[in-house]
Amino acid sequence: MDLSKEAEKRGAELNVLVTRLRYLGDVILTTPAVEALKKRYPEAKIYYLAEKPYGEILERNPNIEKVFSIGTGFFDMLKAVVELRRLGILAAVDLFYNPRSAWICYLSKIPIRFGGSRKWRKRFYSEHFSVPDSVKSAVMHHVYALKDLDVELEAGMPRVFLSTEELDDASRLLKGLIPKRRGGPLIALHPGAKWQSKRWKAEYFAELAGRVSDRLNADVLILTGPGDEDLASLVSGMSTGNTHVIPYLTIRKTASLISLCDALVANDGGIVHLSVALSTPTLALFGPTDPEIWFPYSGRGSYKVLSLGKGCSPCNLHYCEDRSCLDDMTPDIVFQSLEEVVSNASAR
> In this predicted structure, what is the pLDDT of residue 294?
95
The answer to whether position 156 is within a domain reads no
C-alpha span between 282 and 287 (Å, rounded): 16
> In this predicted structure, what is the pLDDT of residue 347?
66
Same domain for 251 and 228:
yes
| Strands, E assignment, 7-75 | 15-19, 45-51, 66-70
Same domain for 207 and 76:
no
Q: Is 67 helix (H, G, I), strand (E, B) or coil?
A: strand
Same domain for 251 and 178:
yes
Same domain for 171 and 276:
yes
DSSP assignments along 211-235, one per residue:
HHHHHH--EEEE---TT-HHHHHHH
Residue where a domain terminates, one of 122, 149, 176 = 149
> In this predicted structure, what is the pLDDT of residue 182?
87
Same domain for 32 and 7:
yes
| Strands, E assignment, the chain | 15-19, 45-51, 66-70, 91-94, 112-115, 127-128, 186-190, 219-222, 243-245, 263-267, 282-286, 303-307
Same domain for 144 and 64:
yes
Residue where a domain terminates, one of 125, 149, 173 = 149
Model-level pTM? 0.95
> In this predicted structure, what is the pLDDT of residue 348?
62
Which strands, in side-by-side order, build the sheet including 186-190?
Answer: 243-245, 219-222, 186-190, 263-267, 282-286, 303-307
Same domain for 343 and 205:
yes
Phi and psi at 279, nearest 5°, equal 65, 25
Same domain for 282 and 198:
yes
Same domain for 199 and 124:
no
> In this predicted structure, what is the pLDDT of residue 82?
98
The answer to whether position 158 is within a domain reads no
> Between β-strands 127-128 and 112-115, what pairing exists: parallel, antiparallel or unpaired?
parallel
Contact present, 186 and 219 (Cβ < 8 Å): yes
The total of structural domains in the chain comes to: 2
Domain of 206, in residue numbers: 164-347
C-alpha span between 240 and 76 (Å, rounded): 47
**Residue 284 CB coordination number (10 Å):** 27
Burial class (CB in 10 A: 0-12, 13-18, 19+), 40: middle
C-alpha span between 17 and 45 (Å, rounded): 9
The answer to whether position 188 is within a domain reads yes
Same domain for 180 and 142:
no
The answer to whether position 159 is within a domain reads no
Same domain for 340 and 210:
yes
Same domain for 175 and 28:
no
C-alpha span between 255 and 159 (Å, rounded): 11
The answer to whether position 339 is within a domain reads yes
> In this predicted structure, what is the pLDDT of residue 101?
97
- Compute the Cα dihedral for 248, 346, 139, 268 and give only its sign: negative
The answer to whether position 50 is within a domain reads yes
CA distances from 113 to 9, 21, 26, 74 (A): 17, 16, 20, 21
The answer to whether position 77 is within a domain reads yes
- 10-residue mean pLDDT series, the chain (348 residues): 97 98 98 98 98 98 98 96 97 96 97 91 93 94 96 95 98 94 94 93 98 96 94 96 94 98 98 98 96 90 92 89 92 97 82
Residue where a domain terminates, one of 149, 182, 209 = 149
> In this predicted structure, what is the pLDDT of residue 119?
81
CATH of the domain at 78: 3.40.50.2000
The answer to whether position 155 is within a domain reads no
